[in-house]
Amino acid sequence: MELTKIKEGKAEILVPKAERIYDAPVFYNPAMALNRDLSVLLLKVTKAKRVLDALSATGIRGIRYALETEAEEIWLNDISPEAFKLIIENLKLNFNENPEVDGKSAVLKGEKLLVATNKDANLLMNEKFRYFDFVDLDPFGSPMEFLDSSLRSVKRNGILALTATDTAPLCGTYPKACMRKYIAMPIRGELCHESGLRVLIGTAVRYAAKYDLGIEVLFAYYKDHYFRAFLRLKDGAKEGDRALRNLGYLYFDSKTGKFEVEKEFLPSRANAFGPMWLGPLKNQEIVEKMNKEDKAELAEKKKVAKFLDVVVNELDVPFFYDIHALARRNSLEVRRLSDIAALLQENGYHVSRTHFSPTAIKTDAPFEEVLKALKALQ
């Protein structure tokens, strides 16, 4: 395999040379640098010590966690033998020491303990029962096939980080695939990214509940065609019940763009989308701390700062009004978000931008008020 050296954050990583990322024998996607940056910030803020990068590929994620956070014991795993070899090379490159290799595992004991393994992630996570403070699942497509094992492998009160790149099922392009993977009905159209994220979290909540675990969403977002959720497990049957009470359904009138949500275990009406998580998508203290962290060494510092600014100021209410879609559905002209926001604020409502869409607002105003504001500006 022909390799080239890249730098991301504090890590130097050997990655395969390839025309297209999916042709490479070991996967590396530079476009996911922001995903890794945000994960580094969250790890720094939550101070997790024992971390598993379960689907590690080149090792870049786990190596960055070791170099850029307070994590003390970092495991890097991949089922591919080529990836395992490359992880070992990348450990040597970044820590200037040779790991002790024993078959399908390699250990590097220095200031931090680094363990590379070449196993099926499900097998490893089941072996390491309630062992990790933080488990990161960053797969091709859906994380669902690893979800059960990861819930066993994270300590009770630990953190589970999920990436899902299967946006076509979660955004309703392939509803059957969403029903199979997530046991939920997705929605298409302007709300699909927030809905897809909430379906992903809702599924994790339902899986966790059977272990008498609840979930707190520390931070969840959609960006660049992927979903990401950092979920804190909460120990106990009561916590499981509490999390389930945040599940519910979305109803959408495609003629007007009016949406409604209901927090119920079962839908009360026909044409419901879900079940999905309708609770908060962030812990305000955590995202504010992430935003205050020093970003100088991050790979995408400017993009991270811009993105977190929106997240920190975003109203944490389910769903938003995409002004372009609202105008189109109601045969109106598009008007500036700031003008609509000003009218709503004059009437005592809260309004913010949303990271889900540059052409949308989040507000606690009812649909009719938002429509009235848009009409008043015609």
What is the DSSP code string of 242-296?
HHHTTEEEEEEETTTTEEEEE--SS-SSSS-EEEEE-S-SB-HHHHHHHHHS--T
79 binds ligand SAM, rule: CB under 6 A = yes
Nearer of residues 40 and 185 to ligand SAM, judged by Cβ = 40
Residue 231 CB contacts under 8 Å (≥ 6 apart), including other chains: 159, 160, 161, 162, 201, 204, 215, 216, 217, 218, 220
Taking the C-alpha atoms of residue 194 and residue 199, their distance in angstroms, rounded to an integer, is: 9
43 binds ligand SAM, rule: CB under 6 A = no
Taking CA atoms, 87 is separated from 13, 23, 92, 260, 346, in Å, by 9, 18, 9, 48, 56
Orientation angle between helical segments 33-46 and 60-68, nearest 10 degrees: 40
Amino acid at 259: F
C-beta of 120: minimal distance to ligand SAM in Å?
4
Region near ligand SAM per CB under 6 A, out of 133-141, 268-276, 290-298, 320-328: 133-141
Region near ligand SAM per CB under 6 A, out of 53-61, 169-177, 207-215, 218-226: 53-61
Region near ligand SAM per CB under 6 A, out of 77-85, 226-234, 266-274, 326-334: 77-85
Region near ligand SAM per CB under 6 A, out of 76-84, 94-102, 125-133, 315-323: 76-84
Taking the C-alpha atoms of residue 150 and residue 311, their distance in angstroms, rounded to an integer, is: 27
C-beta of 233: minimal distance to ligand SAM in Å?
21
80 binds ligand SAM, rule: CB under 6 A = yes
140 binds ligand SAM, rule: CB under 6 A = yes
Q: Are 228 and 220 in contact (CB under 8 A)?
A: yes
377 binds ligand SAM, rule: CB under 6 A = no
Q: 148: annotated binding-site residue? A: no
Residue among 132, 202, 193, 136 nearest 168 (CA): 193
Nearer of residues 127 and 241 to ligand SAM, judged by Cβ = 127
Q: 245: annotated binding-site residue? A: no
68 binds ligand SAM, rule: CB under 6 A = no
Contacts with ligand SAM by CB under 6 A lie at 27-28, 32, 36, 55-58, 60-61, 77-80, 83, 120-121, 138-140
- Residue ranges for the known binding site for S-adenosyl-L-methionine are 36, 61, 78, 120-121
